[in-house]
């Protein structure tokens, strides 16, 4: 579950309120929590008014990217996209485990598209080549992140809301979009199950920030080992 900047502010204000109530019992001046609350509200207002909440999103991404469990989950999610794209004939040209990777705070505040939390895999598609079942292959790649999390990570699925949104936009005009969505998830699970060793090795490489070339080498080595 992603916590918004407003959620964090509400938690902080609640904590400060409790500090002011308990503080009087231990001799803490009520001016201290009041000053903290005013500072937080001011910072929140500036962030929302001038940067559309991107500073708060950056802070969340920075903190979450340092959580080993979070990095592992996102690594498996993005490795699912990466591996499915490669197997289905798409070329991966970039990836990130968290939205802040490779960007300074100044670049992010100036960006119009930054949402902070999620990582991503960027693929290049040449429609002039291998266009057979292009939509089906796209759908499988979209759902491969969720499929990978379901296979490899315990607990509730945290990522994939944006994947589902994009998938549903792509298949909105099909006669049975829900059937297509379910098929894509099942197909992604089957594909990743077949190449499970490659998925595990790739996720480890991506978690350590390996280059695209190193990721491709890892996939090929794992696929070669599993075929012998």
Q: Return the pLDDT at 40.
A: 64
pLDDT digit string, tens, across residues 46-73:
655 555 555 666 666 666 666 778 778 8
The domain spans of the chain are: 5-51, 67-227
Specify whether the CB–CB gap between 134 and 127 falls below 8 A: yes
Specify whether the CB–CB gap between 95 and 120 falls below 8 A: yes
Residue range 67-227, CATH number? 1.20.58.760
Across the range 2-18, mean pLDDT stands at 60
pLDDT digit string, tens, across residues 98-129:
644 444 445 544 555 544 445 688 888 765 55
**CA max distance for the chain:** 74
Q: At what angle do helices 177-194 and 134-152 cross, to 10 degrees?
A: 60
Three-state DSSP string of 48-64:
HHHHCCHHHHHHHHHHH
> In angstroms, rounded to a whole number, what is the distance separating the alpha carbons of residues 129 and 89?
9
The token pair that represents 154 in the structure block: 């315990």
Q: Is the pLDDT of residue 93 over 70?
A: yes
pLDDT digit string, tens, across residues 152-200:
987 667 667 888 988 999 899 999 999 999 999 999 999 999 999 999 9
């Amino acid at each position: 579950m992603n916590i918004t900047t407003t959620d964090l502010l509400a938690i902080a204000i609640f904590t400060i309120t409790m500090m002011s109530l308990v503080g009087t019992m231990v001799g803490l001046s009520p001016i201290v929590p009041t000053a903290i609350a005013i500072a937080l509200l001011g910072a929140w207002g500036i962030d929302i008014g001038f940067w559309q909440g991107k500073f708060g999103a950056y802070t969340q991404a920075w903190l979450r990217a340092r959580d080993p469990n979070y990095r592992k989950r996102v690594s498996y999610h993005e490795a699912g996209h990466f591996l499915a794209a490669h197997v289905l004939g798409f070329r991966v040209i970039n990836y990130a485990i968290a939205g802040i990777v490779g960007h300074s705070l100044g670049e992010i505040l100036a960006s119009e598209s930054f949402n902070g939390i999620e990582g991503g895999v960027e693929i290049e598609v040449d429609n002039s080549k291998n266009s057979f079942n292009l939509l089906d292959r796209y759908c499988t790649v979209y759902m491969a992140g969720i499929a990978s999390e379901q296979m490899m990570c315990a607990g509730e699925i945290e990522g994939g809301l944006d994947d589902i949104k994009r998938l549903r936009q792509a298949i909105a005009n099909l006669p049975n979009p829900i059937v297509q969505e379910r098929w894509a998830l099942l197909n992604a699970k089957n594909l990743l199950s077949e190449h499970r060793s490659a998925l595990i090795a790739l996720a480890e490489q991506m978690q350590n920030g390996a280059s695209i070339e190193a990721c491709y080498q890892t996939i090929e080595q794992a696929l070669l080992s599993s075929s012998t």
